[in-house]
Amino acid sequence: MAQMNRVMRSVFKAVTEEDILRNVNNHIVYKGQPITPEFAKELSAEAQMIMNTNLWKMLTDEMVYEAQQIMFERASSTDDMFFGKAIIWSIDVMKRKLMNLAKLLK
């Protein structure tokens, strides 16, 4: 996945999982500032909770479904295809970030 992140960042200037809430020297960095270990633990617990909610699963499934509809059923240009792929990419970035944050407590 790191290779894909490098490609996306260099070709499309996309935000990757490595860009948000970065882990720098074992500290989570938010907007350039490290957060406290206690707050990182809170975020980790919240990430676990979010991933286990029906709402999260339904929202992300519905977004992927709609993005696929855009790409495969309603696309009338390459921009439409790109937009659908960007939606799926964004959801994947959020899912990976939640999974990595949830691992902080383990």
Give me the residue spans of the domains in the chain. Answer: 2-105
Q: Which pLDDT tens digit goes with each residue over 51-72?
A: 999 999 999 999 999 999 999 9
Q: How far is CA 5 from the centre of its chain?
A: 12
**Whole-angstrom Cα distance, residue 97 to residue 21?**
8
| Residue 1 confidence (pLDDT) above 60 | no
What's this model's pTM, rounded to 2 decimal places?
A: 0.80
Residue that the structure tokens 């948000």 belong to: 20
Percentage of the chain beyond pLDDT 90 is 63
pLDDT of residue 42: 95
**What does residue 65 show for φ and ψ, rounded to 5 degrees?**
-60, -50
Q: Which pLDDT tens digit goes with each residue over 21-55?
A: 988 888 899 999 999 999 999 999 999 999 999 99
